[in-house]
Amino acid sequence: MNLHRSFIGFDGKIKLSASKIDKLKTGRDSLRADIKEWFSENSKKQPKFCWQGSFAMKTTVNPISDDYDLDDGVYLQGYSSNENEWPSATSVHNWVKEATDKRTSLDSTDKNTCVRVNYADGYHIDLPIYIMKDDEPYLAHKSNGWVLSDPKAFTDWFIDKVNENDEQLRRLVRYLKAWKEYNNVPLKGIEITILVAENFDGYDNRDDKALFSTIEKILNTLDKNFSCVKPVAPGENLFENISNTKKNTILSSLTNLRKDLSSAIFENNDETATGILQNLFGTRFPKVESSNKSYVVTNSPGVLKHDGRSGR
């Protein structure tokens, strides 16, 4: 069964709406103004800003909990390359928290890697803080001090991957983010982004097949070497300290997803296919329609023929 239109309908439901995007942008701009004002009043050089993360990559998913977010990097200016002359990570967190504390009625959260500004409407904006050294950004981490971290390079890497392939890659990231939230799979959004981008296997006008084939490639990769290496500095393995329990949960969850996707694609009954997919993704996944029944597959479930493949 060709489930492409159903997946496109699902993507429309899990993407952030225009109104939510506008709220995040308005909040971002207001916080930037607050920070600039505080820095000016306290005789500090004006910082620069760069939005980052899933919002910048256009892979943000409207979560079931409705707690959506935006990351906006605060880049401090006017410091030498000598780290001994930098303020402490804790100090700059205090600056940004003080600058933004009165923006909303809710208290801000001072996390290890950012200051989080919470909004009553059910969203938050994270403000990680950086200083540049030799053209490389260092993040103010409250526990670890200043640590090398380059979110802009990661965003650029992902956008290059999309440009090399197709917008389908972005959709697959969103599908898997929605799936992992619905099923409580212990994967982070950045891990899903890396795994999909590194193992993307596209099909023209067939998101269902592309998702199946990409998951299969991810499983093959993880079976050989269970790692998820960040493709930009500092190039850490995000799975390095993962427990065996989490590792087994991730592998079994992806294996079940592959199996159930195959069952849905080979299913001839709309209601049954809908049940399989809603069990995977929740009731936001739309009902499968009979008009989706144009497909070419092999006669062995779990083995998809690459008809109409994009060739990317």
Question: What is the phi-psi region of residue 309: left when phi exceeds 0, alpha when psi lies from -120 to 50, beta otherwise?
Answer: beta
pLDDT digits 0-9 by tens, 69-85: 999 999 999 999 999 99
- DSSP summary character for residue 232: S
pLDDT tier at 291 (50, 70, 90 boundaries)? Answer: low
Please give the average per-residue pLDDT across 11-25, as a whole number: 93
pLDDT of residue 309: 45
pLDDT value of position 307? 41
Give the predicted TM-score (pTM) of the model.
Answer: 0.91
Provide the token pair at 5: 């239109």
Residue 303: pLDDT over 60: no
Helical H segments across 122-243, by residue range: 151-164, 168-182, 189-199, 207-224
Rg (CA), the chain: 22
Those residues with Cβ within 8 angstroms of residue 51's Cβ, 6 or more apart along the chain or in another chain: 28, 70, 71, 72, 73
pLDDT averaged over every residue in the chain: 92
- What pLDDT is stored for residue 290 in this prediction? 62
> Token match 């989080």: residue?
116
Name beta bridge partners: 127. Answer: 115
> What proportion of the chain, given as a percentage, has pLDDT over 90?
87
Share of the chain above pLDDT 70, in %: 93
Q: What pLDDT, in 10s, does the model give residues 56-67?
A: 999 999 988 778
The pLDDT of residue 40: 97
Average pLDDT over residues 15-29: 94
